[in-house]
Chain A
């Protein structure tokens, strides 16, 4: 929340941005670094990054909001990426999607009430020969059935 932002985070964000500002096209690597460090790109990062790169806040905000990966609110402890693309659809991803939303009681881009999982759609994990697929944090799982998903989530 605005105003409650810890100054240490602001300092950390500035340090991450300063460390990369000389790289050509530095904005994306900086945003990745911030999200890797904090789990998201807080609103307070926008003016800091804009200042370091000598860009307008609108330019930085425009980039943060353009890409699906960047989020502006803290995520759950784990992120469940569920593939919605055609290869997975052909093997039951639509049913799996309905099952997950119901089970976690969230929609896409939301986090469970207990803060354990954020649910994100993804359009292809490159696991199309072992569909349907999900990725939990950075681990991909193939041939996922509702039963198998229960195991993965427990």
Chain B
């Protein structure tokens, strides 16, 4: 008897953005036309985005990949016997797990992403899901916090603060009520790891947040998700409902006497709400204006109660630590950067996608071995690392290892692990202007250096590019950057000058009057 063949077509936002739904429909129709029994599973993306839509077929328990597949290719795929795993088709890639881009990774947090049906609890469990939580319910809060501390896990949101230390503060603060808040307002350009977790493996985040709740005695959690991720919001809401029905959330987590409830809150489009205190204000129903610190959110956070605020990746990494132990996790990485980093290769890159890899690999390896250089085939001129507040990295620094401290040494940061690649046609003068413009648009307005400084920054850069008192305005720009860095209350105003200063330092040729050139391309009246 012919068994039903499993066919996987990703349903994550990016796969769908390049046509995965059309491919799924075409495969269903073609199978029906031919009378072939298939089970079509909409998995998450493996993160090999240049190959999306990436179709997989399971043959004798091994998954074979085909990509990128267009709806028009589907008939020829059936003709070429792809349901039997045959390779005589131009899109055939062989065993998925053997594709070098994937094979060379250390997938811990992303172990299941792209592999499973995102909303299936059975599939999640079959791939090791909920083992961390099952261990955690047997432990005291103190024991859980100690394991997380021992693992060396640092916050993946940007500041890289040790997760265990933050949890310890919440644990040690006496209060009748405590909260766990997941910061899923991933607003940095070039990052999509959070979105992938929420759309492709939502239970791992639920599991991580529940463990956090058990660790510190919090009974209520919120996932604050940006409105720009509508699919992530839908998937998380559905997953929370199913996890609650199955007893993983609720008044008695896994039948224990400990409660944890979870709710999704939709953000409303303010970059600053990715800053933890602004996020808390927003969750309280106010304008997302930053709070002075101290008190720390760990002591006085949401509604005045001790609160863990962690990024998606940090929380989604907790289950594997509780499953396999602190030593297992700590074994990956280098120096004080332990475990794995989820690098997101974005922008003008040939092989863009997600690479989860132990800390310590060089930027060059990521950009060329994984990324394959630029999508346009031109030389890489600069890479912006760590989001819109991160430095533009010059090719002379490409041998730097991915390590928080190594990056900090030359004024750059790893942040959330996003790498945005630019080819040699980039106008870094315009990118410097954009950094200030972005800060002006997104400033919460609470402090003057950010609110006014960013507006003045745009004006000064405009004058430089127009050739007005160039030397004096360049000096003024540096002074303005210094003022913003030292005088701003939070990272938005305090770091928006970083990309500008990196361009001043490493690409000075782009921050000068280029009126003639720009007139030639029609940018100046």
A interface with B by C-beta (< 8 Å): 24-29, 31-32, 53, 59, 62-63, 66-70, 81, 85-91, 94, 122-131, 133, 135, 138-143
The answer to whether B431 and A89 touch across the interface, beta carbons within 8 angstroms, is yes
On chain B, the residues within 8 Å of A90 by CB distance are 347-348, 420-423, 426
The answer to whether B421 and A143 touch across the interface, beta carbons within 8 angstroms, is no
| Closest Cβ neighbor of A120 among chain B residues | B269
The answer to whether A123 and B271 touch across the interface, beta carbons within 8 angstroms, is yes
The answer to whether B431 and A130 touch across the interface, beta carbons within 8 angstroms, is no
**Distance from A88 Cβ to chain B, minimum over Cβ atoms (Å):** 8
A29 and B265 in contact, given A63-B285, A86-B431, A91-B348 (Cβ under 8 angstroms): yes
A142 and B189 in contact, given A63-B285, A85-B388 (Cβ under 8 angstroms): no
5 CB contacts below 8 A, A to B, read: A66-B270, A66-B287, A86-B434, A91-B375, A124-B228
The answer to whether B18 and A87 touch across the interface, beta carbons within 8 angstroms, is no
B260 on the A face (CB < 8 A): no
CA distance A58 to B434 in the complex (A): 32
Which stretch from B26-34, B158-166, B190-198, B406-414 is at the chain A interface? B190-198
CA distance A24 to B345 in the complex (A): 38
The answer to whether B52 and A86 touch across the interface, beta carbons within 8 angstroms, is no
The answer to whether A128 and B418 touch across the interface, beta carbons within 8 angstroms, is yes
Contact of A128 among B192, B268, B430 (CB under 8 A): B192
Number of B residues, CB within 8 Å of A: 63
On chain B, the residues within 8 Å of A32 by CB distance are 266, 268
| Closest Cβ neighbor of B187 among chain A residues | A124
CA distance A62 to B287 in the complex (A): 7
B135 on the A face (CB < 8 A): no
The answer to whether B17 and A124 touch across the interface, beta carbons within 8 angstroms, is no
B186 on the A face (CB < 8 A): yes
**Distance from B53 Cβ to chain A, minimum over Cβ atoms (Å):** 11
The answer to whether A129 and B352 touch across the interface, beta carbons within 8 angstroms, is yes
Q: A25-B283, A25-B285, A63-B287 are in contact. List 17 more A-B contacts (CB 8 A).
A: A27-B286, A28-B283, A31-B268, A67-B288, A69-B268, A69-B269, A91-B348, A122-B228, A123-B388, A123-B438, A123-B441, A124-B190, A128-B352, A129-B352, A129-B353, A133-B17, A142-B14
Nearest first, the 5 A-B pairs at minimum CB distance are A129-B352, A85-B189, A27-B285, A128-B346, A67-B268
**Distance from A133 Cβ to chain B, minimum over Cβ atoms (Å):** 7
CA distance A67 to B288 in the complex (A): 8
Contact of A138 among B14, B230, B283, B289 (CB under 8 A): B230
B344 on the A face (CB < 8 A): yes
B49 on the A face (CB < 8 A): yes
On chain B, the residues within 8 Å of A62 by CB distance are 287
The answer to whether A28 and B420 touch across the interface, beta carbons within 8 angstroms, is no
CA distance A124 to B418 in the complex (A): 12
**Distance from B490 Cβ to chain A, minimum over Cβ atoms (Å):** 16
On chain A, the residues within 8 Å of B284 by CB distance are 24-25
B229 on the A face (CB < 8 A): yes
**Distance from A47 Cβ to chain B, minimum over Cβ atoms (Å):** 17
Residue from the set A24, A53, A124, A127 with the largest chain B CB neighbour count within 10 Å: A124
CA distance A91 to B421 in the complex (A): 9
**Distance from A123 Cβ to chain B, minimum over Cβ atoms (Å):** 6
B16 on the A face (CB < 8 A): yes
On chain A, the residues within 8 Å of B375 by CB distance are 91
**Distance from B216 Cβ to chain A, minimum over Cβ atoms (Å):** 19
B50 on the A face (CB < 8 A): yes
CA distance A38 to B286 in the complex (A): 22
B117 on the A face (CB < 8 A): no
CA distance A70 to B438 in the complex (A): 19
Residue from the set A24, A63, A90, A122 with the largest chain B CB neighbour count within 10 Å: A90
**Distance from B302 Cβ to chain A, minimum over Cβ atoms (Å):** 8
The answer to whether A86 and B270 touch across the interface, beta carbons within 8 angstroms, is no
**Distance from B347 Cβ to chain A, minimum over Cβ atoms (Å):** 4
Contact of B228 among A28, A129, A135 (CB under 8 A): A135
The answer to whether B266 and A126 touch across the interface, beta carbons within 8 angstroms, is no
The answer to whether B283 and A87 touch across the interface, beta carbons within 8 angstroms, is no
On chain A, the residues within 8 Å of B346 by CB distance are 87, 128-129, 131
| Closest Cβ neighbor of A29 among chain B residues | B265
On chain B, the residues within 8 Å of A143 by CB distance are 17-18
B188 on the A face (CB < 8 A): yes
Residue from the set A31, A70, A94, A129 with the largest chain B CB neighbour count within 10 Å: A129
Contact of B190 among A29, A31, A86, A135 (CB under 8 A): A86
CA distance A152 to B270 in the complex (A): 27
B219 on the A face (CB < 8 A): no
On chain A, the residues within 8 Å of B18 by CB distance are 130, 142-143
B349 on the A face (CB < 8 A): yes
CA distance A91 to B17 in the complex (A): 16
**Distance from A70 Cβ to chain B, minimum over Cβ atoms (Å):** 6
The answer to whether B195 and A126 touch across the interface, beta carbons within 8 angstroms, is yes
Contact of A26 among B191, B285, B289, B426 (CB under 8 A): B285
A86 and B230 in contact, given A25-B285, A133-B17, A143-B18 (Cβ under 8 angstroms): no
B227 on the A face (CB < 8 A): yes
On chain A, the residues within 8 Å of B251 by CB distance are none
B13 on the A face (CB < 8 A): yes
B384 on the A face (CB < 8 A): yes
